[in-house]
């Protein structure tokens, strides 16, 4: 893998963006030795301003998680650059909190211990960390579940513990990968509103991956659409001019409908394409 | 599906009672069936099978007179030492190998070879090296416990969920904190899942070692009794050994239950 350093220097910007992805290309080595590597994302350009809420929508397997991983510094782009608040990213992104798509709680720690861990490891006194963790659990509506282990929580409750675990560290950038993925429609809306409440109290830059276009429009300042992979790109972006604070009824807003129709027209073909491509890729291997 | 605890216990007791009854009748009631044998005979000759009453009497007397306590103590000590040393070694080396892929690759064939060796053949060598005291038995137990714990810890560290690891790193953990908060608990979990087996093997090592050459311990007592055709003594030794195993197993279960509270209860069969 080639180093992150590239010829392309981050363009000087008036206001430093929280995240700038420039011509990012991410390739995975082929599982079979000697095989060509698989380019998941190619030529991805995206800037997220400080305090901006950006939703990323795209067909399954297009590379949304991959893009977040690159922003988190967990994956090195094969080429292109990732800069965080104007600095080229090398190693892990220390300014970001990441809510993973898959289960990532410590199964041997209770909910409150899971939330407190981010403070524990920076040397916060134990009692203080616990107290703050309990506050955060209360904020995500889980005060009564503080002493449960993850396996005793529902999928949605686990996601909320994960959210508290990330937010307690006050990251300046929040990466969320389908945080409400396994939840039913109603719970998703409730969680979405909870997220907006927490976010508006302390505006961070958010990259929010979802496969639910309605959710994306309801939550975000800007919706970014990724095309189908392989070598997926960002194929379009729409500003969401709906005023904040938004309430649950945002989905009834005429502007919401107009946007939804417009974005869906662009997304539809990609979704079908993405599904076909993943079929052929699987057959080809 | 079992209906209740008490029904289960009742059935378990029933099995014991039936087996004891068969043993008792077979070894005390003389049958006179000329078709099989001219002389009256026992189905279970007490010379070879002893009788339940004699066995329990002997066991009771051994405990009552205190003769058995010393031997129990020795076996317990050997078991605990074998477990502690074997488990500590297994955890340390398992951890080390899991974090250093090169090391694991180099030693892989040797580990497999050593583990494939039947341990009984080592007993005389250990006796030669370490004498007939407790240490040769401890060594035998260690060779058994070590590999179980080693393989489990190795697996545990290797199979930490990559997402969990990524999350821990994103939360800001350094290498040391990863060790403490991710790898170590994961390794321990796997170790505890093999706790029953490991403790059982520690005991097997101790008893087999004693049996093959010692001056004390339960294995030694069984061996002594066998040497003079004291079948009652052999059975009594076996009874004591079984009780000992059951108690140790219950202790292990209790420890396990405390330490693994965070784990989902295993899905019950059916
Ligand atoms: N470690 C890997 N090795 C090889 N290929 C990978 C690896 N991780 C992901 N990919 C491939 O990269 C592509 C993008 O994966 P990614 O997980 O980013 O998709 P996604 O957009 O998050 O999908 P979903 O919505 O289903 O979560 C997929 O085709 C996937 O098969
Ligand atoms: Mg994904």
Which pLDDT tens digit goes with each residue over B217-236? 899 999 999 899 889 999 99
Band (pLDDT 50/70/90 cuts) for residue A7 is: very low
pLDDT at A12 over 80: no
Q: Are strands A79-84 and A53-57 parallel, antiparallel or unpaired?
A: unpaired
Cα B99 to the center of its chain, rounded Å: 30
pLDDT of residue B194: 83
For position A285, what pLDDT does the model report?
43
- Ligand nearest the Cα atom of residue A281: 1
- Supply φ then ψ for residue A56, to 5 degrees: -115, 120
In whole numbers, what is the pLDDT of chain B averaged over residues? 88
Q: B30 has which bridge partners? A: B42
Question: What pLDDT does residue A117 have?
Answer: 94
pLDDT at B266: 61
The answer, yes or no, to whether any atom of ligand 1 lies below 6 A from the CB of A28, is yes
pLDDT tier at A130 (50, 70, 90 boundaries)?
very high
pLDDT value at position B122? 86
For position A279, what pLDDT does the model report?
A: 67
Same domain, B1 and B33: yes
Q: Which residues pair with A49 in a beta bridge?
A: A17
User: The tokens 């901006």 sit on which residue?
Assistant: A52
Would you say residue A27 lies in a domain?
yes
Residues of B in contact with A103 (CB under 8 A): 161, 163-164
* Residue A195, in any domain of the structure: no
Model pLDDT, residue A281: 56
Closest CA to B200 of B235, B247, B234: B247
Q: Give yes or no for residue B141 having a pLDDT over 90.
A: yes
- Tell me the C-alpha to C-alpha distance, in Å, between residue A61 and each of A71, A217, A222, A272: 17, 21, 21, 12
The alpha carbon of residue B238 and the mean position of all alpha carbons in its chain are separated, in whole angstroms, by: 14
**CB distance A226 to ligand 1 below 6 Å:** no
With respect to residue B29, please indicate whether it lies within any of the assigned structural domains: yes
Co-location of B143 and B35 in the same domain: no
Q: Are residues B139 and B15 in the same domain?
A: no
Residues B39, B78: one domain? no
In a domain? residue B267: no
Asked if pLDDT for residue A33 goes beyond 80, the answer is no
Interface residue of B169, B171, B181, B183 to substitute, partner A, most A CBs within 10 Å: B171
Mean pLDDT of all residues belonging to chain A: 85
Give the residue carrying structure tokens 């709906």. Answer: A242
* Nearest Cα residue to B182 out of B203, B200, B156: B156
B34 and B124 in a common domain? no
Give me the phi and psi of B43, to 5 degrees please: -65, -45
Given an 8 Å threshold on Cβ–Cβ distance, is A102 in contact with B263?
no
**Where residue B13 falls among pLDDT bands split at 50, 70, 90?**
very high
* Cβ neighbours of A184 (radius 10 Å): 10
Q: Are residues B81 and B103 in the same domain?
A: yes
Range of the domain at B31: 1-49
Cβ atoms A140, A161 nearer than 8 A: yes
Lowest mean pLDDT among A48-52, A227-231, B8-12: A227-231
Mean pLDDT value of segment A1-29: 67
A232: DSSP letter: B
Residue B35 has a pLDDT of 81
Q: What is the pLDDT of residue B45?
A: 86
Which of A159-163, A179-183, A205-209, B74-78 bottoms out in mean pLDDT, i.e. has the lowest? A179-183
Residue A215 belongs to a domain with what CATH number?
Answer: 3.40.50.300
Residue A5 has pLDDT above 60, yes or no: no
SS3 at position A175:
strand
CATH code assigned at B105: 1.10.3720.10
Are residues B42 and B86 part of one domain? no
Quick one: B230 and B190 in the same domain? yes
Q: Which residues, 6+ apart, have CB-to-CB distance to A20 below 8 Å?
A: A10, A13, A46, A47, A48, A81, A82, A83
Clarify whether residues B23 and B141 are in a common domain.
no
Query: Nearest to residue B154, comparing CAs of B197, B123, B183?
Result: B183
| Choice between A15 and B185, residue whose per-residue pLDDT is larger | B185
User: Does residue B206 lie within any of the structural domains?
Assistant: yes
* pLDDT surpassing 80 at residue A249: no
Nearby residues of B193 by Cβ (< 8 Å), 6 or more positions away: B152
| A117 to B262: CB separation less than 8 angstroms, yes or no | no
B189–A108 C-beta distance less than 8 A? yes
**Is residue B229 included in any domain, yes or no?**
yes
Q: Report pLDDT for A113.
A: 94
The answer as to whether A215 is a domain residue is yes
- The complex's ipTM? 0.85
On whether residue B120 sits in a domain, the answer given is: yes
Alpha-helical runs (H) found in chain B? 5-28, 46-49, 52-65, 67-99, 101-116, 122-130, 134-158, 162-170, 175-178, 184-193, 195-212, 218-227, 231-259
Determine, yes or no, domain membership for A80. yes
Using a 6 Å cutoff on CB, does residue A95 contact ligand 1?
Answer: no
Across the interface, do B171 and A169 touch by the CB < 8 Å criterion?
A: yes
Distance CA B170, CA B152 (A): 27
Total number of domains in chain B: 2
Higher pLDDT, A278 or A174: A174
Residues of A in contact with B181 (CB under 8 A): 106, 117, 121
Whether residue A24 is predicted with pLDDT greater than 50 in this model: the reply is: yes
Range of the domain at A240: 1-7+18-95+206-285
Percent of residues, chain B, with pLDDT higher than 90: 36
Cα angle vertex A101, ends A60, A262, to 5°? Answer: 45
DSSP bridge partners of A222: A54, A239
> What's the pLDDT tens digit per position in B69-99?
999 999 999 999 999 999 999 989 998 898 8
Residue A65 lies in a domain: yes
Separation between Cα atoms, residue A275 and residue B107, nearest integer Å: 46
Average pLDDT estimate for A51-69: 90
pLDDT above 60 (res A37): yes
Residue A161: inside a domain = no
Per the structure block, which two tokens stand in for B55? 């066995």
Same domain, B6 and B112: no
Please tell me which of the candidates B169, B181, B264 has its beta carbon nearest to residue A117: B181
pLDDT for the residue numbered A111: 94
* Placement of tokens 């030795």 in the chain: A33
Of A1, A26, A61, best ligand 1 pocket probe by most atoms within 8 Å of the beta carbon: A61
Most confident of A9-18, A72-81, A268-277: A72-81
* Inside any domain, residue A271: yes
Closest ligand 1 atom to the C-alpha of A230? 29
User: What is the end-to-end Cα distance of chain B in Å, rounded?
Assistant: 7
* pLDDT confidence band for A15 (50 / 70 / 90): low
Total of domains in chain A: 1
| Same domain as B194, residue B107 | yes
| Distance of residue B108 Cα from the nearest chain A Cα, in angstroms | 23
The reply to whether B10 and B59 lie within a common domain is no
What kind and span of H or E run contains A70? helix A64-72
Residue B159: pLDDT over 80? yes
Q: Is residue A3 part of a domain?
A: yes
Give the residue on B whose Cα is nearest the Cα of A97: B170
């Amino acid at each position: 893998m080639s180093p992150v350093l590239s010829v392309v220097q981050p363009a000087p910007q008036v206001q430093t963006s929280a995240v700038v992805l420039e011509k990012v290309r991410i390739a995975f080595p082929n599982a079979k030795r000697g095989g060509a590597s698989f380019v998941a994302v190619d030529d991805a350009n995206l800037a997220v301003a400080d305090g901006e809420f950006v939703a990323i929508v795209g067909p399954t397997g297009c590379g949304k998680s991959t893009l977040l991983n690159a922003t988190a510094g967990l994956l090195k782009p094969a080429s292109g650059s990732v800069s965080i608040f104007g600095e080229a990213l090398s190693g892990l992104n220390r300014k970001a909190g990441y809510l993973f798509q898959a289960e990532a709680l410590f199964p041997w720690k209770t909910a409150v211990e899971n939330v407190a861990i981010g403070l524990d490891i920076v040397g916060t006194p134990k009692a203080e960390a616990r107290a703050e963790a309990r506050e955060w659990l209360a904020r995500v509506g889980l005060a009564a579940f503080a002493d449960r282990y993850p396996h005793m929580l529902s999928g949605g409750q686990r996601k909320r513990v994960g959210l508290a675990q990330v937010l307690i560290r006050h990251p300046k950038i929040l990466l969320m990968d389908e945080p409400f993925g396994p939840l039913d429609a109603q719970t998703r809306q409730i969680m979405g509103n909870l997220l907006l409440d927490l976010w508006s109290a302390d505006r961070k830059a958010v990259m929010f991956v979802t496969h639910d276009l309605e959710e994306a429009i309801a939550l975000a300042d800007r919706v970014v659409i990724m095309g189908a992979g392989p070598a997926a790109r960002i194929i379009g972006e729409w500003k969401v001019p709906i005023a904040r604070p938004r309430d649950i009824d945002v989905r009834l807003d005429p502007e919401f409908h107009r946007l939804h129709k417009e974005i869906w027209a662009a997304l539809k073909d990609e979704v079908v394409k993405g599904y076909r491509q993943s079929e052929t890729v699987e057959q080809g291997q | 599906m079992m209906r209740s605890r008490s029904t289960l216990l009742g059935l378990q007791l029933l099995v014991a009672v039936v087996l004891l009854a068969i043993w008792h009748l077979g070894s005390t009631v003389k049958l006179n069936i000329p078709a099989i044998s001219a002389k009256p005979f026992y189905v279970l000759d007490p010379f070879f099978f002893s009788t339940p009453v004699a066995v329990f009497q002997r066991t009771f007397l051994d405990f009552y007179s205190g003769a058995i306590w010393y031997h129990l103590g020795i076996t317990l000590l050997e078991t605990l030492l074998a477990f502690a040393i074997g488990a500590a070694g297994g955890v340390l080396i398992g951890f080390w190998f899991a974090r250093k892929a090169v090391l694991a690759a180099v030693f892989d064939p040797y580990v497999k070879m050593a583990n494939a060796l039947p341990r009984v053949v080592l007993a005389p060598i250990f006796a030669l090296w370490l004498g007939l005291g407790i240490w040769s038995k401890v060594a035998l137990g260690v060779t058994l416990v070590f590999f179980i714990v080693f393989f489990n810890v190795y697996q545990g560290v290797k199979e930490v969920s990559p997402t969990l690891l990524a999350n821990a790193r994103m939360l800001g953990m350094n290498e040391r904190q990863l060790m403490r908060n991710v790898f170590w608990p994961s390794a321990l979990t796997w170790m505890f899942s093999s706790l029953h087996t490991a403790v059982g093997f520690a005991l097997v090592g101790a008893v087999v070692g004693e049996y093959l050459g010692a001056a004390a311990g339960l294995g030694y007592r069984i061996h002594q009794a066998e040497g003079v055709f004291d079948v009652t003594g052999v059975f009594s030794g076996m009874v004591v050994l079984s009780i000992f195993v059951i108690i140790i197993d219950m202790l292990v279960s209790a420890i396990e239950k405390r330490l693994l509270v965070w784990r989902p209860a295993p899905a019950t069969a059916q």
